[in-house]
Amino acid sequence: MREELERELVKRIKARTASMKWRPNYEEWVQKRVWQERYCEPVLENLKRYVPDWKQVTILDLGSGMGGLVVRLQQEGCNVLGLDYCFDYCIITKLRGMRYSCQSQVINGVAERIPLKDQSVDVIFCYQVIEHVFDPLAMLREIRRVIRTNGLVFITVPNRWTPYDHHYHLWGINYLPRPMAEWVIKVLGRDKGTDTSAGVQKLSDMHYFSFWTFSKLAKQAGFTLFDVREHKLMEGIVKTTKVGRLISVLKKLRLLHLVYRLYRFTLMDEWHFILKPAGVSV
């Protein structure tokens, strides 16, 4: 029974990743999808850092994908619900939970119409989702509706002007008009197909943002914005690496804030934000 479940899980994941065999280190990437629940440490680190009572809160993983985070949070003893637009991803999530004898809770639905009551959720994860939805503002307003007054939303947002596009793993395409960029993608054999249920739309169908455009959108939806990476840098929460040592030097020279802001606006491929209901401090 266990082997049969594993085969079905792997088969479904491989079917959903087959259109992206052009990815660098494709086989390694697929294996990380198969064992996605093992690669959630950065997300858990943020949860534990910014939500002191993280095991007592209600969590929604909005755009839960293949369910790695849902299952990992269940393993940690959290009360978590997943929601995803792709029905097959919901099945994969349930199979992943069964791998650990868990009944993973996941809903097939859209982020613009979350089937939950007003102010019913304490924490929402929305990682690599906003670029794929039909209406980003509608999604943010729905998040504002279901999040509690003192709740937190962890969200990633793709930079419209990043030199490296992490969806297609190509340099420079974000500086081109979208039709030209899509021509380059097709010529290079990096087209993902047209199955929008799995979040593999054309580049022109996705939503990328400038920093200020997203800031205005978040404010319009009733949120204040907090840059997680900037906070960690300023607090000295960095790993001991070459980059970490460079950060230490820049901090001593009082240049860290300036250099980070320049990097954030120009080179960063996506931003990691916390959104709080307007008027509430982080």
Structure confidence at residue 187 (pLDDT):
95
Can you give the pLDDT of all 282 residues of the chain as single tens digits?
789 999 999 999 999 999 899 998 999 999 999 999 999 999 999 999 999 999 999 999 999 999 999 999 999 999 999 999 999 999 999 999 999 999 999 999 999 999 999 999 999 999 999 999 999 999 999 999 999 999 999 999 999 999 999 999 999 999 999 999 999 999 999 988 766 666 678 899 999 999 999 999 999 999 999 999 999 888 877 665 667 788 888 888 889 989 999 999 999 999 999 999 986 655
Q: Is residue 14 part of a domain?
A: no
Bridge partners (DSSP) listed for residue 31: none
Question: Based on the structure, what is the number of domains in the chain?
Answer: 1
Structure confidence at residue 195 (pLDDT):
67
Structure confidence at residue 280 (pLDDT):
60
Q: Is residue 152 part of a domain?
A: no
The contacts of residue 224 (CB under 8 Å, 6+ apart) are 218, 275, 276, 277, 278, 279, 280
Q: Is residue 172 part of a domain?
A: yes
The token pair that represents 196 in the structure block: 């929008």
Q: Is residue 191 part of a domain?
A: yes
Structure confidence at residue 238 (pLDDT):
66
- Residue of 279, 140, 161, 158 lying closest to 218 (CA atoms): 140
Structure confidence at residue 21 (pLDDT):
92
Q: Is residue 177 part of a domain?
A: yes
Structure confidence at residue 196 (pLDDT):
61
Specify whether the CB–CB gap between 75 and 54 falls below 8 A: no
Structure confidence at residue 134 (pLDDT):
94
Q: Is residue 180 part of a domain?
A: yes
What number of other Cβ atoms are within 10 A of residue 253's Cβ? 10
Specify whether the CB–CB gap between 114 and 54 falls below 8 A: no
Domain range holding 192? 168-198
Q: Is residue 135 part of a domain?
A: no
- Residue of 86, 80, 8 lying closest to 37 (CA atoms): 80
pTM of full prediction above 0.85: yes
Structure confidence at residue 170 (pLDDT):
95
Q: Is residue 96 part of a domain?
A: no
Structure confidence at residue 239 (pLDDT):
65
Structure confidence at residue 232 (pLDDT):
86
